[in-house]
Structure 1
Amino acid sequence: MKEVKAYAASANDAPLKEVNINRRDLLDNDVSIDIMYCGVCHSDIHAKLNDWGNAKYPIVPGHEIIGKVTAVGSNVSNHKVGDLVGVGCMVDSCQECSACKEDQEMWCENGSTSTYNSKDPHLGGHTLGGYSKLIVVREEFVLKVPTNLDTKAVAPLLCAGITTYSPLIHWNVKKGDKVGIIGLGGLGHMGIKFAAAMGAETVMITTSEEKAKDAKRLGADQVIISKDESQMKEHNDSFDFILNTIPVGHDVNPYLAL
């Protein structure tokens, strides 16, 4: 085992404090990563506060990890020392069940392993996340990061990025489609950038007129203020796809007619 620095909370009402944690010795299929950046996702805040009632303390959050490979196991073929890589919300699964073989590791029949707050099959206890100096991850859950990107800005792609990219790809959004993105937050701004890059006519739908300028700077072709009934009615039955990123309970009916 290797002892490394991390930031952990000992209880839901305790602040994050510097601590020492253990990382496992490298296994044959493992990648060791020196962490350069880790995003702060709101899920990290929910988990630390135990808003979902399943927090395991001490908790080390962080699942938007960017770093450099420092060592690889003897069976690793996809990564080498010095590579710039990323790690998202999972770090392990059985790799043998039907779900894993169909690239659906989150439904692993033997239980997938989350980056933190999950049962640790190697060291016992629970997994500890990316608010730390180093992490050891099974190679299938390590992603290559293009070096032409702004490294410090890549981290949110590991959560907010894939959360919005996945449905756009799944539903085959393409050039010529009219796409609405509801809400301009951590997810919404990613949705705008992706939809615009895919060539879609991209429309930001928001309650806030103040966000219109930011939406257009990010790539939106136009903005609809959802509180304006006339604007909403003008766009009825005109969208090919709508991505709703509002993170709280709300009435979806005003958007369905679009």
Structure 2
Amino acid sequence: MTIPVSGYAAQSFEAALAPYQFTRRDLRVDDVALDILYCGVCHSDLHNVRNEWGGATYPMVPGHEIIGRVTAVGAGVTRFRAGDVVGVGCMVDSCQHCMPCAQGLEQYCDDGATTTYNAPDRHDGTTTYGGYSDRTVVSDRFVLAIPEGLALEGAAPLLCAGITTWSPLRHWKVGKGSKVAVIGLGGLGHMALKLANVLGAEVTLFTRSPGKAEDARRLGAHHVVLSTDEAQMAARKGRFDLILDTVPFVHDLNPYLPTLALDGTLVLLGQIGPLGPALSSVPLVMGRRAVAGSLIGGIAETQEMLDFCGRHGIVSDVEVIRMQDINGAYERMLRSDVKYRFVIDMASMKA
């Protein structure tokens, strides 16, 4: 027995997303079935649909920022019941026995975490399909409780943009007195400003756009620095304990390295692929500085982030769209014409 599902899929890297009918598996003993209420639109959805990172399998149903309501649970599930509002993020499975998994860091699973879409299911080999659809079925270990009181449409991007910025903030122990900078003000950047601010850090935005200053301060930045202004950059020399780089394309990191404090770290979050131009080792060696990377977060860490957001009323700034408008949203996303995340209202599938 299988579950019929309506969604939107790309049939090739050149094709627009279009309606697609498919099926989900019947519930395994540890599964949770849910009706999808909202699904965020991540820049990585566009990269994957257009096979810009390679490895695409078609038809592809994207979407990994899922908010839904539980409709049924498998016989072995005790944490959730019908009616619960829950989330599903970027992963739906992992090996569960390697060292990263044992530490609650499933995103770094030695065997590779099973992503929410465009990955083979570890049990039956079928391709996973994501949240641009009206229903899904997920192992309960990868289902997250959504705190009461959060706007559900705004909570959806927390499951990717939120945890992608939360994880390095926690790993590098950001708190009161920390000096944190964020490069780029998009889906990730706006969440980094909000979270770092509430954690107690002094927060600075690096941007190339003077017009973003007012919005950055509204979102939690205490300072805004034009990264193209050499005098402003020089004035921040040796200042930051942590820099979160959220820019999703190749750009020069060298101007930012001298702004790190002794033992400071610049963490890459947005760009996946080769760096360029080459990094100068001088500011790294002379200040024991580091350039690092970070990938989403584990399930326990994601629940911690959601609970923190619930206590402090933190959600993403979103523009809600109909499923039928997704291709136009992709084009707008390429122009950075969104503040700061598109979220699909899946009720529009019934329209």
CA distance in structure 2 between the aligned counterparts of 1:113 and 1:241, rounded to whole angstroms: 30
Residues 132-211 of structure 1: matches in 2 within 5 Å? 132-211=133-212
1:144-184 deviation line (CA, Å, top 9, x unaligned): 11121111111111111111110001001011111111111
Amino acid at match of 1:152: E
Gaps of 5+ in 1: none
2:288 corresponds to which residue? Answer: none
1:171-220 deviation line (CA, Å, top 9, x unaligned): 01011111111111111111100111111111111111011011011111
CA distance in structure 2 between the aligned counterparts of 1:244 and 1:109, rounded to whole angstroms: 25
Amino acid at match of 2:182: I
Amino acid at match of 2:235: E
1:195-253 deviation line (CA, Å, top 9, x unaligned): 11111111111111011011011111111111111111111112222111122112211
Contact kept? 1:24, 1:123, Cα under 8 Å = no
Please state whether the residue corresponding to 1:253 is helix, strand or coil.
coil
- Within the alignment, does 1:244 sit opposite 2:248 as a pair? no
Contact kept? 1:6, 1:60, Cα under 8 Å = yes
CA distance in structure 2 between the aligned counterparts of 1:109 and 1:226, rounded to whole angstroms: 38
Offset at residue 122 of structure 1 (A): 4.4
Offset at residue 110 of structure 1 (A): 4.1
CA distance in structure 1 between the aligned counterparts of 2:51 and 2:72, rounded to whole angstroms: 34
Residues 1-258 of structure 1: matches in 2 within 5 Å? 1-258=2-259
Please state whether the residue corresponding to 2:240 is helix, strand or coil.
coil
Contact kept? 1:9, 1:59, Cα under 8 Å = yes
CA distance in structure 1 between the aligned counterparts of 2:100 and 2:176, rounded to whole angstroms: 32
Offset at residue 43 of structure 1 (A): 0.7
Deviant stretches of 4+, over 6 Å:
none
CA distance in structure 2 between the aligned counterparts of 1:14 and 1:5, rounded to whole angstroms: 18
Amino acid at match of 2:108: W
Contact kept? 1:63, 1:129, Cα under 8 Å = yes
CA distance in structure 2 between the aligned counterparts of 1:199 and 1:245, rounded to whole angstroms: 20
CA distance in structure 2 between the aligned counterparts of 1:199 and 1:190, rounded to whole angstroms: 14
More moved, 211-220 vs 106-115: 106-115
CA distance in structure 1 between the aligned counterparts of 2:249 and 2:70, rounded to whole angstroms: 38
What is the RMSD of the two structures over their aligned residues, measured on CA atoms? 1.3
Point out which structure has higher relative CO (alpha carbons under 8 A, 6+ apart): 2
Q: Which has the higher helix share?
A: 2
CA distance in structure 2 between the aligned counterparts of 1:126 and 1:2, rounded to whole angstroms: 15
Contact kept? 1:116, 1:129, Cα under 8 Å = yes
Offset at residue 79 of structure 1 (A): 1.4
Amino acid at match of 1:199: G
Contact kept? 1:183, 1:205, Cα under 8 Å = yes
Aligned-residue sequence identity (percent) comes to: 55
TM-score scaled by structure 2? 0.71
CA distance in structure 2 between the aligned counterparts of 1:111 and 1:250, rounded to whole angstroms: 28
CA distance in structure 1 between the aligned counterparts of 2:183 and 2:212, rounded to whole angstroms: 12
CA distance in structure 2 between the aligned counterparts of 1:206 and 1:235, rounded to whole angstroms: 14
**What is the aligned length?**
258
Contact kept? 1:24, 1:122, Cα under 8 Å = no
Please state whether the residue corresponding to 2:41 is helix, strand or coil.
coil
2:305 corresponds to which residue? Answer: none
Amino acid at match of 1:162: I
Please state whether the residue corresponding to 1:37 is helix, strand or coil.
strand
CA distance in structure 1 between the aligned counterparts of 2:109 and 2:231, rounded to whole angstroms: 47
Cα distance, 1:66–1:151 mapped onto 2, change above 3 Å: same
